[in-house]
Amino acid sequence: MNKHLLSIHDVSADDIVRILDTAESFREVGTRVIKKVPALRGRTVVNLFYENSTRTRISFELAAKRLSADVINFTTSGTSVAKGESLKDTALTLQAMGADAVVIRHSSSGAPLTLTKWVRGSVLNAGDGTHEHPTQALLDLYTMRDRVGRLEGLRVAIIGDVLHSRVARSLSFALVKMGADVTLVGPPTLIPPDAASWGVAVSYDVEEVLPKLDVCYLLRVQRERQRQQYFPSVREYARLFGLTRDRVGLLPEGSMIMHPGPMNRGVEIDSDVADLPQAVMEEQVTNGIAIRMSLLYLLLGGRAEEVGADA
Amino acid sequence: MSPATILDEAEIRRAVTRIAHEVLERNHGAGGVALVGIAARGDDLARRLALEIERIEGASLPVGVLDITFYRDDIGIRAEAPEVHETRIDFDINDRTVVLVDDVLFTGRTIRAALDALVDLGRPRAIQLAVLVDRGHRELPIRADYVGKNVPTRTDEQVRVCLKEVDGEDAVVVEEPGGSA
């Protein structure tokens, strides 16, 4: 496997299978009374979050702690970053402290890649701008495989603001890599113009797509996009693309509803629909810890060639 | 040089049968005893041992499989993160006598890791160790309670246990260093 996880392009289909299989063991650890193993004792993981994301941060934090690694949370408010420190100087500081892995969330696409120039440890992308969010995609793949038993030929629609969604990009790339059948659905203004080159289908008609799905994956609609005039109103979006109580009946028996969270109940998904048994958002969260444990283990469980090399 | 067979199919079967008798004798029956095999191959041996005990005593023992990867002491020394296997122990190990089962006892490091892994799952009344082959060269103060066969070896030799469940045949062979399999 690559030393870093910046994008789904960093992992092969074989790597993905290994990551998901290893996560299987870590999910078992999560069911124990003592949910902790000593696999990464003495390693240091830094959570470097330039954007607020409580869910992803605590998921990584719990993952690292359950592996017995030491975790430092470096958030932007109230730190040197708020005092104007550059990404480079923050990175050099973390490097000097001997971080074995840096988990970074940043509003600028490409910030994790830039970070790899300055730190010797592994860099894990926890979401960068409108680029990628690979750990979310992997936990989603795990959840789908766990429920359905396979990824190949799985029919998945990703519905919503695909254009601005790093989740949609990572998930599409990962699903296509594993041989799934992906359709992007949304208003034409929110479908990326280069979608054809992703190896996916595109549709603007949610009701036509729903009856042919194994997985209905909803994206969060960001209200500021309406102010930027990508769609006329939130109500119109909900009426045309929302997974309403009426539309959920179009989904085949046994299909799953997924959402990366946080949800806008009443916009992309009706509140009742979000509480149906086929809506697996809580499983996604639980599986997210196992996937992040798997990634940290696979990236940091080998030889610590870099640690303290400059001491 | 061709590998030397130290246990064939019949000898493995007899060793498992004898260990089954010893486990029952030592624990005054099968009550409160559970078997936990160390992946890979220890789990297959544990299942065979359970079948033997059931045949002899008519009692069915719970069998679990334990992966010790997360408890190894060479994480960060090996180039790659070691491959992870499944841990599945569907019974409560608290207050039971757990017989750990492994194929080969060598340095003792695997057993050290297994002891740590087990106590994270509960507090057994006692832990005993059964191995098919003890090849010596311990690096830790660990010994087996039940041994299929003691085999004097050099440290650079390889002891390979083949089981029908995974390898298609039953045999224990000693191979020269760098020898072909």
Q: Sign of dihedral through CA atoms B87, B93, B99, B105? A: positive
Q: What is the mean pLDDT of residues B43-68?
A: 97
CATH code of domain A134-280? 3.40.50.1370
A180, pLDDT greater than 90:
yes
Q: What is the mean pLDDT of residues B7-35?
A: 97
Q: What is the mean pLDDT of residues A263-283?
A: 96
Q: What is the mean pLDDT of residues A119-148?
A: 97
Fold annotation for A8-133+286-300: Rossmann fold (3.40.50)
Residue pLDDT, tens place only, A182-194: 999 999 999 999 9
β-strand pairing of A70-75 with A44-49: parallel
Dig out the tokens for A3 from the structure: 């030393």
Q: Following CA atoms A261, A267, A272, A276 in sequence, which dihedral angle do they give, to the nearest 10 degrees?
A: -40
* Residue B16 lies inside a defined structural domain of this protein: yes
* Residue B163 lies inside a defined structural domain of this protein: yes
Residue pLDDT, tens place only, A235-252: 999 999 999 999 999 999
Domain that holds residue B169: 4-75+85-175
Residues 81-120 of B with CB under 8 A from A: 81-82, 84-88, 116-117, 120
Q: Following CA atoms A178, A180, A186, A190 in sequence, which dihedral angle do they give, to the nearest 10 degrees?
A: 20
* Residue B181 lies inside a defined structural domain of this protein: no
* Residue B180 lies inside a defined structural domain of this protein: no
* Residue B80 lies inside a defined structural domain of this protein: no
Q: What is the mean pLDDT of residues B33-61?
A: 96
Same fold, A8-133+286-300 and A134-280: yes
Q: What is the pLDDT of residue A287?
A: 98
* Residue B119 lies inside a defined structural domain of this protein: yes
- A39 close contact with B: CB closer than 8 A: yes
Task: Nearest by CB to B76, from A24, A32, A303: name it.
Answer: A303
Report the CATH number at residue B109. Answer: 3.40.50.2020
Where residue A15 falls among pLDDT bands split at 50, 70, 90?
A: very high
CA pair distance A41, A229, nearest whole angstrom: 50
A133, pLDDT greater than 70:
yes
Nearest Cα neighbor of A214 from A156, A284, A146 is A156
* Residue B14 lies inside a defined structural domain of this protein: yes
Where residue A228 falls among pLDDT bands split at 50, 70, 90?
A: confident
Q: What is the pLDDT of residue A229?
A: 86
* Residue B10 lies inside a defined structural domain of this protein: yes
pTM (predicted TM-score): 0.91
Residue pLDDT, tens place only, A62-106: 999 999 999 999 877 656 666 667 889 989 988 898 899 999 999
Report helix angle A13-30 to A281-300, nearest 10.
110
Q: What is the pLDDT of residue A280?
A: 98
Q: Rounded to a whole number, what is the distance in Å from the CA of A115 to chain B's nearest CA?
A: 23
CB contact under 8 A, A28 and B84: no
Q: Name the residue ranges covered by the structural domains of chain A.
A: 8-133+286-300, 134-280
Q: What is the mean pLDDT of residues B42-47?
A: 97
Helix H, strand E, coil C: the string for chain A is CCCCECCHHHCCHHHHHHHHHHHHHHHHHHCCCCCCCCCCCCCEEEEEECCCCHHHHHHHHHHHHHCCCEEEEEECCCCCCCCCCCHHHHHHHHHHCCCCEEEEEECCCCHHHHHCCCCCCEEEEEEECCCECHHHHHHHHHHHHHHHCCCCCCEEEEECCCCCCHHHHHHHHHHHHCCCEEEEECCHHHCCCCHHHHCCEEECCHHHHHHHCCEEEECCCCHHHHHCCCCCCHHHHHHHHCECHHHHCCCCCCCEEECCCCCCECCCECHHHHCCCCECHHHHHHHHHHHHHHHHHHHHCCCCCCCCCCC
Q: What is the pLDDT of residue A82?
A: 64
ipTM of the assembly? 0.84
CB contact under 8 A, A301 and B81: yes
Contact A164, A173 (CB under 8 A): no
Q: Specify the number of domains making up chain B.
A: 1
Residue pLDDT, tens place only, B105-118: 999 999 999 999 99
A59, pLDDT greater than 50:
yes
